[in-house]
Amino acid sequence: MNNLLLENQYALVTGASRGIGRAIAECLAEAGCHVAVTSRNGQECDAVAAEVAAKHPVRAIGLQTDIANAESVHELFGRLRIWSSGVLDVLVCNAGYPFRPEIWETPLHATPADKLSMWYLDAFGTDAMGAVFCTFEALSLMRSRQNGRILYISSTPALEGFQGTPYTMAKSAILGLMRDVAREYGKDHIRANALALGNIQTPATFEQLDQETRLSLAAEAPLNRWGAPEEVGKAALFLVSDLSSFVTGQALVVDGGALRR
C-alpha cells in the first residue's frame, strides 16, 4: 500500500487524544496527512500532536475543544482555518460520550426517572450533535474547494441494537447524518461514510470490564478477540483516501465478524 495516500492533505480528528481517535490520527499522519487533533484535554492534545509530528514528516496541532458546544466548535474551526490556510480535506468525527457502566448496564425501564434526560441527552449531545456541529463547519471549507471526505465513528449496536440505549440512539443518529450528508453533498465531490465498530480494546472500555466480561465479548466475534485501535485506523484510512473513491453513504462494520448480514 502506498504510505503517502494523503500526502500534504489536511485532516481534523475529534476525540483524538487517546484510543481510537489517536490511532486514526497516527494512521493518517503515516499516510502523509497533516493532522489537527482535538479533545477536551488541551495538554493531551498538545502531547499527541507533538508525538505525531516527531514520528512523521507532517504538521500536527492540538486544539482543545468541547465538541458538544457549538460555540466551542466554531472557535475550533477558526483556529483550524488559520493553521491550515483554510484547507480541510478530511474530517473524522470520532469524539464520543465517555463510557459509563451504570448507563451501559441499565435498561430503559430501570433508568431512574431523574436520570432520563441527562443520560440520553448528554450522550446524544456529544456523539450526534458534536458530529453535526463539526460537519456544519467543515462543509463551508469543503464545498468551497469542491472536495472532501467525512468519516463518522458509529458502532454495531446502531445496526442491530444491544444495550446501553443512550449510546445506541446517539450512534444510530450518526448514521442518519452520514447518509444525508452523502446524498446532499455528493454533487460537491464530498464523500461521507461511517465505521460501525464492535469491541475495540481501548482504555475507555476494555479496562473498565472484568475478565469474564472481556472474554465473553471477545467470543462474540468469529475471530475470537477484541479489535485493536490500529485496525480501526487502517479502515479509516481506506474510507478517507482514494482507495474508496466510489464509496459514499456506507457503514463499514469493523467487529471481527460478529455482525454478519
Any long-range contacts for 163-168 (C-beta under 8 Å, 24+ apart)?
163/104, 163/105, 163/107, 164/103, 164/104, 164/105, 165/107, 165/108, 165/120, 166/97, 166/103, 166/119, 166/120, 166/122, 166/123, 166/124, 167/97, 167/103, 167/104, 167/123, 167/127
Q: What is the CB neighbour count within 10 angstroms for residue 157? A: 20
CA dihedral 209, 42, 167, 134 (to 10 degrees): -150
Active site residue 167: yes
Helices (H), the chain: 19-30, 42-55, 70-84, 101-104, 116-124, 130-145, 157-160, 165-185, 211-218, 229-240
At 154, which helix (H) or strand (E)? strand 148-155
Please say whether the beta carbons of 53 and 28 come within 8 A. Answer: no
> Which sign does the torsion angle of CA 91, 228, 67, 194 carry?
positive
Residue in this structure with the C-alpha cell 493553521, named with its chain if needed: 83
Q: Choosing from 10, 97, 120, 167, which is the catalytic residue? A: 167
Answer yes or no: are the C-beta atoms of 59 and 71 closer than 8 Å.
no
Q: Please identify every residue annotated as catalytic.
A: 167
